[in-house]
Amino acid sequence: MALNGFLEFFQKGKTFRPKKPFASGTIRYSLHKQAQASLQSGINLRQVVRLPQGENLNDWLAVHVVDFFNRINLIYGTVSEFCNESTCPTMSGGSRYEYLWADGDLYKKPTALSAQKYIEHLMDWIESQINNEAVFPVSTDVPFPKNFAAISRKILTRLFRVFVHVYIHHFDRLVSIGAEAHVNACYKHFYYFVQEFDMISAKELEPLQEMTSRICKDKDSV
């Protein structure tokens, strides 16, 4: 019953915010479909995150940043009604980790926010980056900015913090709606990707280190 409720949630297209699509027929759309297929059961996720032969690294990064943004929006959407000022007054991952928000605009200095506010600001910020054609070019004729890898690292590092908060503070909700296996698959895909391209520091990954060692067991192969 719980699994049916979870699938129904996703099938209704209920998202935390509108999805960012890729134009059909483009190289990035093709790469996007390839990335989507990676969540099929039985596929070695450690292998599928590797850059396809002959493809551009920035295209591959862009596709995954957008896909992870959409997927993590959906995951947070499943717990968002239980994540508010009273239940989660800080953006934390247990008692050892607290994340402060700064965006150089509204919040010029790192500021303590509730998890809900932090994630709202985070998703707004990421969406503004993705919709900025100077950062995420729509046409493959337009080059990516020279600092695109650094921007991607920052986005993925901050998205990881959503995983931290959801796993540590809202895991019971994921289990109650039958979402655990799906979220674990999304997390594994995300983890193997950031490891493959060295997108998140080891220190940032520490909060979920124990869980990661337990579920991320896909063997590497040549």
C-alpha torsion sign, points 75, 79, 81, 87: negative
Tell me the C-alpha to C-alpha distance, in Å, between residue 86 and each of 33, 67, 90, 95, 114: 40, 31, 9, 16, 9
What's the CA angle centered on 156, arms 62 and 112, to 5 degrees? 140
Residues making up the annotated binding site for Zn(2+) are: 83, 88, 165, 170
Under 8 Å between Cβ of 190 and 199: no
Count CA within 13 A, CB hemisphere, residue 220. 6
Count CA within 13 A, CB hemisphere, residue 16. 22
Residues making up the annotated binding site are: 83, 88, 165, 170
- The one-character DSSP state at 107 is -
Under 8 Å between Cβ of 190 and 160: yes
